Amino acid sequence: MGTAKRIWRRVMRRMQPAFDTFVAGYVRVSIWWMRLFPASWSSNIIGNLGRWFGPWFLVSKVARCNLRAAFPEKSPREIEAIVAGCWENLARMAGEFAVLDRIWDYDPANPGKGTIELVGADIMARLRDDGRPALFFTAHTGNWELNAITGEKLGVRGGVLYRAPNNQKAAEVVLAMREKTMPGLIRAGRAAGRQMAQMLEDGQHLGMLVDQHWGQGVTVQFFGRPAATNPTLARLARQFDCPVHGMRVIRLPKNRFRIEITEEVHLPRDAEGKIDVQDAMQTVSSVIEDWVREYPEQWLWLHRRWR
The mean pLDDT values, 10 residues at a time, for the chain of 307 residues are: 65 61 61 75 90 94 96 97 96 87 84 88 94 96 92 89 68 66 79 90 94 93 96 96 97 95 97 96 98 98 94
pLDDT recorded at residue 20: 60
Q: What are the distances in angstroms from CA 173 to CA 23, 104, 182?
A: 10, 21, 14
pLDDT recorded at residue 38: 82
Rounded distance, CA 239 to CA 194, Å?
13
Q: Determine how many CB atoms are found less than 10 A away from the CB of residue 256.
A: 15
Rounded distance, CA 116 to CA 103, Å?
8
Rounded distance, CA 205 to CA 196, Å?
9
Which has the closest alpha carbon to 195: 183, 208, 184, 211? 184
pLDDT recorded at residue 114: 87
Name residue 246's beta-bridge partners: 137
Q: What is the reported pTM?
A: 0.89
Q: What are the distances in angstroms from CA 4 to CA 7, 9, 89, 111?
A: 5, 9, 41, 63
pLDDT recorded at residue 113: 79
Rounded distance, CA 206 to CA 90, Å?
24
Q: ∠ CA(24), CA(194), CA(187), 5° rounding?
A: 15
Radius of gyration of the chain (CA): 20
Identity (one letter) of the amino acid at 213? H
Q: Determine how many CB atoms are found less than 10 A away from the CB of residue 7.
A: 10
pLDDT recorded at residue 107: 84
